[in-house]
Structure 1
Amino acid sequence: MLEENYKSFYEQISKTIDEKKIFTDKLHTLAYGTDASFYRLIPKIVIKTDTPKEVEEILKLSNNLQLSVTFRAAGTSLSGQAISDSILVVTSRNFRAFSVSKDKSLISLQPALTGQEVNNILAPFSKKIGPDPASINAAMIGGIAANNASGMCCGISQNSYKTLKSMKLIFSDGTKLDTADEKSKENFRKTHKKFLEELQNLSQETKNNKELKKRIQKKYKIKNTCGYSLNALIDFEDVFEILQHLIIGSEGTLAFIEEITYKTVEDLKDKASALIYFKNVNEACSAVTKLKLARDKKEIIVDAVELMDRAGLRSIENDPAMPEFIKEFDEDVTALLIETRAKNAKKLQIQIKEIEKLLQEFKVVRDFYFTTDEKEYTMYWKIRKGLFPAVGAVRETGTTVIIEDVAYPIEKLAPATLELQKLFKKHGYHEALIFGHALDGNFHFVFTQDFSSKEEVKRYDEFMKDVVNQVAGKYEGSLKAEHGTGRNMAAFIEVEWGKTAYNMMKKIKMLFDPKNLLNPGVIINEDKEAHLKNLKAMPQTNDLVDTCIECGFCEPTCPSNDLTLTPRQRIVINREISRLQKEGNKKEAQEYLELYKYDGLETCAACSLCSTACPVKIDTGSLTKHLRAEQISPRADKIASAIANNYKATLQGMRVGLKGVNLVHKILGTSSLEAISSTFRAWSKGTLPKWTPYLPKGININTRFEQQVLEKKVVYFPSCINRSMGRNSKSTVDEELFDLTVKLLKKAGFQIIFPEEMDKLCCGMPFSSKGYKEQGKLKSDELEEALREASKQGAYPILCDMSPCTKTMIGNFGSRLKIYEPIEFALEHLTKELEFTKIDEPITIHTTCSSRKMGLHEKFIELANMCSTKVIIPQNVKCCGFAGDRGFTYPELNDSALRFLKEETKEAKYAFSTSKTCEIGLSEHSNLDYNSIFYLIDKVTVAKNS
């Protein structure tokens, strides 16, 4: 009967939601059945939703058929609350409308915006949202609110519960409510009169129970996300305030958050940090207690206090960025990272002196000071943020990294922390470390766990039961301070809260969700072994990605994140394929491989931006290249070798082809050629490349021109793309990039040297990116030798006019030659020789993924600001997804990656980047003519000695 219901659900929901957004195949259900926790359930149906109407239809239908539904945002949840074995509703990355009030005191948000995106929106107004989880770059608003996620600074005063203004909700039966709209509330009073009466009664019952009320008040003096937000029952009289505050932290078990309006908080820019090393845990925790009490009395202003135990410091002491003296500390040294913020620099110095005075009585092993230097305090916070991934990066393959978060009453912090360390030793978790938000008594402890044997599962169970008794029993703390209850602590809510409070939570669940259809098994779970079931395996698959902890931090940077798979999901699928192959299940493994070809290989840009966001620096792009190499046939390998060995002829053929296409374009016109191209591409089922009016024409460059013998010399290597591709039919510039670059270098007083036999040279990237490693190395070695000779063994700087090629060359050549791409060359060399005068016209820039990985994004912004009074940086565009030639063969990747570009660049007049192929896609999706930044530099400069 249940299977029939799923079949009926699929048939009916397909009539209202595009089937392309509904998945039942094994690849997508497994990929979306994975979150950041150590649990896994495989949904029967996955639906990506873009609108509230779609969610409403899903809930109405699932309610009628009595099928359970789980909501998922970014899937960074750590306690198993974003997985399902039924219907999984994923808020797609297009579910992201927002509005800011006139006075900037409120911001209304749909659920798919990430916390960082929201703070970027508010930054120009010196505002931000209160919640600041460590996952803020990846975590979406829906999940932040549903988990009442907090973080390092927000504590319990600026979390979602405290900064909530209003909500738009969709209930399990599809009913909608807007708590900011009087008409909506009046309608709800009519249709849900009994519901509101019962909710009011639960509130009154709780208020009348003095013992329960007292317990709730005590529990919420520290961070607590274990169970439902019972404080809502005693904090408010208005039934709608009670209702919406119960939704905070409810983990999708009571209703769907269609929109949330937050009260914004002030974002103070003046700040200082100090990293202080105390003699031991007891001394550090005593200092925390004193800081907390002083802050509560408003005697000092301190925004964050992060504790790091000796095991934590040891895990990162070998990082080159870390100071050497950390290695010399004894076993008991414990660090506190303290931050204070102020409205101005003068006030900040007063606050620093007050904190320093308060800490004078404590024993430290090194003198400390507060720094206002951004570079220095950023390093401190890098130390702190590196603790969790440091464990993940060195764990034994096949094990899981578990991060728990507990909170103790501040006055019991020292003995509780010492006892927690003893529990690690008792159960053999010798690698475990403690860090966290000490000012709130909130500690994370991290350890590795093998779930592959009964003995190991039993060890974990016994350890967790000891932790539960220690935290919730002896010290009356919180078992979940900020990660949410999920499945992980559902079995222990009654232990922490007691029978009366737990029964109240069950009543809340029954009232909101009488059929138990919303995220069943999460928060309320009668199975006392729920924390030991549906454990996720982490099988070995490839050394390139085996350290992945499946946190999902990589996903916002990925150009295919709304099209096919993300880096995390690619790793998940590869782990499953490896598991099946190891178990001898070749048939099912092959089924995954077939499904993976398009979603995993063809639509991966292999840009490797994921590595810049990954806590353990995993480069899934390298995995893609490795897998592509494995699939190369002998025939394809021979063709690639023929091309590599006859590269000059290959480029000439490209030029002829481009000239021919542009001639046809002139004859037929844009609309006719677009129609014909689309038709032929459809007939070929996507095998023919896409044509675009921004396709460059074929060109030949002339390196034979007169120039003076000058002291300043530069080796200029025009990329093979820029040697064969010129301007397009919509171009707004008058010169080809090669000619423009030559002119600019001459203006700056350089004598230009070209490598010999340049027509046959290539960095090798067109080959290596497709998996042709041997051919890529051949071309790279040829180029390195030519550049060595041209530069007199590195005596002269080498300029390449495309960032992706430069990145490849630097990666292959190492430090043997000094190679520049346009941004760095301009800042290091051109600024010395040229006078810049800003234009008073808005420009936009696109930092390529190669430039980002070289650490040049901020430098590109600096350079752009030297050229224009207004520089627009699109916040929601990272990699453009063109990926060399993939923008022609899989244009949907480019379309998806740049879907927000036009809106974000609408005020720009000129547009610049540092890669010709990227510029093709950028131009098409913005209706701006993107060109090399060298064009702008030439426009705004004159020689200093002219």
Structure 2
Amino acid sequence: MLEGNYQEFLETISEKIKKNQIFTDKLHTLVYGTDASFYRLLPKIVIKADNSDEVQFIIKEAYKRALPITFRAAGTSLSGQAISDSILLITSRKFTNFKLADDKSYISLEPALTGEQANNILKEFNKKIGPDPASINAAMIGGIAANNASGMCCGISQNSYKTLKSIKLIMADGTKLDTSSEKSKKRFRHQHKEFLENLKELASKTKHDKELKSLIERKFKIKNTCGYSLNALVDYEDEFDILSHLIIGSEGTLAFIEEVTYNTVEDYPNKASALIFFENIKDACNAVSKIKLAKDDGKIIVDAVELMDNKALKSVQDKEGMPSYLKEFDSEVTALLVETRANLKKDLKTQTKDIENILSEFKTVRPIKFTTKVEEYTLFWKIRKGLFPAVGAIRKIGTTVIIEDVAYPIESLAEATLELQSLFEKHGYHEALIFGHALEGNFHFVFTQDFNDQKEIKRYDEFMNDVTNSVAVKYQGSLKAEHGTGRNMAAFIELEWGKTAFDMMESIKNLFDPTGILNPGVIINHDKQAHLKNLKPLPATNDLVDTCIECGFCEPMCPSNAITFTPRHRIVANREISRLEVIGEQKEADELKEAYVYDGLETCATCSLCSTACPVGIDTGALTKYLRHERITPTQDKVATFIANNFSTTLSGMRVGLKSANFVHSLIGTSLMTGMTNNFRKLLGTPKWSATLPSGLSINEKFTNKASDKKIVYFPSCISRTMGQSSFSQEEKSLYDVTVEVLQKAGFEIVLPKALEELCCGMPFSSKGFTKQAEQKSTQLEKALLEVSNNGEYPILCDTSPCTKKMQESFISDIKIYEPIEFCLDYVVNELEFTKIDEPITIHTTCSSRKMGLHEKFIALAKLCSNEVIVPADVKCCGFAGDRGFNFPELNKSALSSLKEQTSGAKLAFSTSKTCEIGLSEESGLDYNSILYLVNRCSSSKI
């Protein structure tokens, strides 16, 4: 029970906001209240808002009661600006409408769209948004604008401040404003006349204060997100332009951002990057200054220059794909990652030559070599973007990784950087490394910190005081260049800006938010020790996830991100459970464990796509399997063992059940069947029935088989041996029969494993935590495949991608197992004649296929068969997760919420997993089938 105004607020908002969007319990407030920073506050109430009307209602009710409220988008912010001990309002993943101008010159975006989603919308037009933070795949538009996040290439010319066209806001009192609408501005003028007059007065006062104006102009010649965007007061005359640009970088302390309209920028198709190695950091910094001067003089075109000092290089030298020579460098070698872009290839070649000429006076450890190969420069940038989390992954468990974000005037870059390194040594941060956007004089430095010891906290404080004086006072730089002020620099704003500018910032805060309810303690904070308070613990919980620093990069990949927990949430929860157990609070730990079951265990798809987005490859799906295993009872274990030992009987039972369901469906029809089974589900908790549910199937193992020198072992998965076509499907043949047709058409002699009905890869067991039974079935299958393939002499095909991936992970031997995509490209395509169809098709790459690196290959195979291939940009894991889609269909529905819209226009649909295809068909209205159906349809024998 909440106290006073909070309880009244809760009761009021519960009348209009769905109860499953409001959280007050410890588990949900903890996990939803955690962001990527090293600070933590526990909110009293967390609310997920789906749209601006809900936000307006919530803000008005908080305003009435003077209750502090903080806004959160993706929570990838690093400075503590997205946490609260009061009300935390999160923009849900439904807050994602957009509108693109006819000429593509601007795009309007709601706050929960990620930067990647925005760029995917613009990609086909060779456009993008200007801001490009390293977290762009996860960071949402609301946060990108609220923090004025920049990044690798946008510098200060294409950030949110410079590319803002208009903005929609909800002010502290709940008033809405759309700066693109004359009607809205007129209404606002009438309602907030005094506010606008005071705002214009602040701007006029600033413009007439020559010293302050000069300071502002100088400070914003380099990247600066420390404090408010005071440049708005001198850059603009119109009060709405001033207002909207003050919002940029205000970190939710002035208003809620309902929508941002960006002027789009060109995204040139031709790119080249070079990783250039200098003997030391001083030479690298001097080279940066030379490049910057040449760029400003128009002598070269360079889009980005990223510096990685020696310790940064060492932190990634063992990563997959990195050149081996990194290990041979001495302790001073520093790298610059340089990128240039052009519309035409010939221009790109000229630009790379110009850059090489500019740098010819510098001695490099290796010759300068630009690459235009996508896979090569993508690796360079992936490594650069993953430096921060990579450092966090090698920290001592229990310590925190801290990233600071400063900018120096370019003329002082070398001297200031050397001084920064000397401060590392002075305070004993010997592991600290430097990397960042050198072209803008913007460096990040990363180090690990123990906040469990007062001596260590004192050391951190002394270090930060030295750093802030060096950056802000001695070199007149920015204490925050792009990560936002947050809590860790709020105490140092006056040090950087001086009293006059700080007082102006305080006046802005008081004007916009007179009651002080919007994100208190952020940007304006009079507590000089604020950066040392509310520090977040990172206790050990499980070796599988202990390296996580809670950055949130994983969240967009997670199929449960819109309904329950994400990988980050699951790790946060488990850390708290472990912490409570260590300190002896077992009762509270057990309560959290029970509260965790649905959100953490039941609705985790264990697809492990989170590991593909995680810079250090953390697989939270593996944690879920581990935790499911811990909950297995002796009775459940015995049942699983019985099933494993009597697998053919189990499959026979499945066939009977599927045939029975389809028979009843044929008698009573879809509508009545749906209603009846839904009622059973509500009353008895039975699995969901769907019209896309396949009928039972028994395969014919004794087909006519022609002898051939080309032998292929075909292992039909237990799913394709059991499930045929549904009444919904347009196809009559089973996947098994189609696969046999394709193989025989291509001239293969097919060999099936012996005792086929008993064989299974083990996935149905492992996904539920039955590790012993999974290993039993996997070992049995491996032995059978080794025997029938003559120890791997013949290629082995499995018709289902998830099963293939499971075999690859579980088998001890090095036999090669193929799934349909790679097998067709490697063995079938050259044996058959392909004729493309004119019908537009769509494909879904399963999680397993993505993890096997087959997404692009799937697209290539599809394009051999059709002139138009639709690939839904926002659909990752389908959330069906084997049989989980039957028991928790809400996971599948949520994961595929955008599928129908993004596959609009497609006539045929294909994937490589039968169970995934059930859910995909259900949510799209299309008949999804294996890609082998399309290959069979589009191909003919060459003979």
Q: TM-score, with normalisation over the residues of structure 1? A: 0.99
Report the Cα offset of residue 425 of structure 1. Answer: 0.9
The alignment of Structure 1 onto Structure 2 pairs a total of residues equal to 943
Q: Supply the distance in 2 between the matched residues of 1:553 and 1:166 (Cα, whole angstroms).
A: 28
Alignment of 1:426-825 (within 5 A): 426-684=426-684, 687-813=685-811, 816-825=814-823
Deviation digits for residues 271-324 of structure 1, max 9, x if unmatched? 111111111111111111011111111111110001111111111122342222
Structure 1, unpaired ranges of 5+: none
Q: What letter matches 1:909 in structure 2?
A: K
Q: Report matched runs for 1:799-878 at 5 Å.
A: 799-813=797-811, 816-878=814-876
For the 8 Å contact 1:225–1:485, the answer to whether it is kept is yes
Aligned twin of 1:897: 895
Give the RMSD, CA atoms, in angstroms.
1.0
What amino acid is aligned across from residue 22 of structure 1 in structure 2?
I
Helix, strand or coil: the match of 1:167?
strand
CA shift, 1:424, in A, is: 0.8
Q: Deviations over 1:139-191 (max 9, x none)?
A: 00000000000000000000000000001110010001110100110111111
Q: Is the 8 A contact 2:79 2:487 kept in 1?
A: yes
Q: Match for residue 401 of structure 1? A: 401
- Please give the alpha-carbon distance, in whole angstroms, between the structure 2 residues aligned to 1:663 and 1:592: 44
| One-letter code aligned to 1:797 | P
Determine the C-alpha separation between the residues in 2 that align with 1:100 and 1:349: 33
Report if aligned partners of 2:840, 2:906 keep a CA contact under 8 Å in 1.
yes
Contact 1:800/1:819 (<8 A) preserved: yes
Q: Which amino acid aligns with 1:482?
A: E
Q: Is the 8 A contact 2:413 2:441 kept in 1?
A: yes
Moved more, 342-351 or 438-447: 342-351
Aligned residue for 2:165?
A: 165
The one-letter code of the counterpart of 1:613 is: A
Question: Does the 8 A contact of 2:356 with 2:368 survive in 1?
Answer: no
CA contact (8 A) 2:553 2:614 kept: yes
How far apart, in 2, do the equivalents of 1:659 and 1:320 lie?
48
Once residues 695 and 328 of structure 1 are traced to their aligned partners in structure 2, the CA distance between those partners, rounded to angstroms, is: 58
- Tell me by how many angstroms 1:708 deviates: 1.6
Q: Which amino acid aligns with 2:575?
A: R
Deviation (angstroms), 1:815: 5.5
Amino acid at match of 2:635: R
- Partner SS, residue 840 of structure 2: strand
Q: Answer yes or no: is the 8 Å Cα contact 1:30–1:573 preserved in 2.
A: yes
Indicate the SS of the match to 1:360. Answer: helix
Distance of 2:701 and 2:510 partners within structure 1: 78
Residue type of the partner of 2:101? S
**Range with greater deviation from structure 2 (538-547 or 18-27):** 18-27
Contact 2:820 2:912 (C-alpha < 8 Å) held by counterparts: yes
Once the 2 structures are TM-superposed, how far is the Cα of residue 373 of structure 1 from its aligned partner? 2.1
| Structure-1 separation of matches of 2:402 and 2:833 | 55
CA shift for structure 1 position 381: 2.1
Measure, in 1, the Cα distance between the counterparts of 2:20 and 2:524.
34
Greater Cα shift, 109-118 or 277-286: 277-286
Q: Secondary structure at the match of 2:443?
A: strand
Deviations 1:372-393 (A, max 9, x none): 2222222322332232232122
The answer to whether the 8 A contact 1:713-1:750 is kept is yes
Deviations, residues 595-618 of structure 1 (Å, cap 9, x unaligned): 001110001001100000001110
- With 624-633 and 664-673 compared, the bigger mean Cα shift is at 664-673
Number of the residue aligned with 1:150: 150
Pairing 1:175–2:175 present: yes
Read off the aligned partner of 1:596 and give its amino acid letter. Y
Write the letter of the residue equivalent to 2:893: D
**Aligned twin of 1:349:** 349
Indicate the percent of aligned positions where both proteins have the same amino acid. 68
**Separation (CA, whole Å) in 2 of partners of 1:16 and 1:859:** 47
The 5-angstrom pairing of residues 124-523 of structure 1 reads 124-523=124-523
Residues 392 and 616 of structure 1 are in contact (CA less than 8 Å); yes or no, is this contact kept in structure 2?
no
| CA contact 1:700–1:724 (8 Å) conserved in 2 | yes
Separation (CA, whole Å) in 1 of partners of 2:355 and 2:368:
12
Unpaired runs of 5+ residues, structure 2, are: none
Q: Which moved more, 1:635-644 or 1:385-394?
A: 385-394
Separation of aligned partners in 1, 2:404 and 2:446: 7
Look up the match of 2:928: 930
Q: Equivalents in 2 of 1:190, 1:370: separation in Å? A: 58
Q: Output one character per residue of 1:214-262: Cα deviation in whole Å (capped at 9) or x when no partner.
A: 0000000000000000000000000000000000000000000101100
Residues 513-568 of structure 1 deviation map (CA, whole Å, 9 limit, x = unaligned)? 00000000000000000000000000000000000010000000000001100000
Which residue type is aligned with residue 911 of structure 2?
S
Question: Is the contact between residue 251 and residue 484 of structure 2 (CA under 8 Å) also seen in structure 1?
Answer: yes
Q: Which residue number in structure 1 is paired with residue 939 of structure 2?
A: 941
Counterpart position of 2:17: 17
Shift of the alpha carbon at 1:422? 0.8
2:310/2:334 contact within 8 Å kept: yes
Tell me what 1:919 maps to: 917
The CA deviation string for residues 347-372 of structure 1, in whole angstroms up to 9 with x for no partner, is 11221221111111112121112222
Letter in 2 for 1:919: E
1:527 alignment partner, SS class: coil
- What whole-Å deviation, never above 9, does each CA across 1:842-879 have from its counterpart, x for those lacking one? 00000000111111111111111111111111111110
Q: Is the 8 A contact 1:837 1:867 kept in 2?
A: yes
Contact kept, 8 Å, 1:155 with 1:223, in 2: the verdict is yes
SS in 2 for 1:839: coil
Contact 1:168 1:260 (C-alpha < 8 Å) held by counterparts: yes
- Matched-pair contact (CA < 8 Å) for 2:130–2:264: yes
Maintained 8 Å contact 1:66/1:517: yes
> Greater shift after overlay, 554-563 or 277-286?
277-286
CA distance in 1 between partners of 2:137 and 2:812 (Å): 31
Matches within 5 A, 1:38-77: 38-77=38-77
In 1, the alpha carbon distance for the partners of 2:376 and 2:30 equals: 43
Q: Any idea what SS the aligned residue of 1:429 has?
A: coil
Change beyond 3 A, Cα 1:523–1:302? same
Deviations 1:471-494 (A, max 9, x none): 001111000000000001000000
Deviations 1:666-715 (A, max 9, x none): 1111111111101111112xx21011111110110011122121000100
Return the offset for 1:716: 0.4
Which secondary structure does the structure 1 equivalent of 2:868 belong to? Answer: strand
Pairwise CA distance, 1:196: 0.2
Partner deviation per Cα, 1:573-594 (whole Å, 9 max, x = no partner): 0000000000000111011001
The CA distance in 2 between the partners of 1:343 and 1:848, in whole Å, is: 34
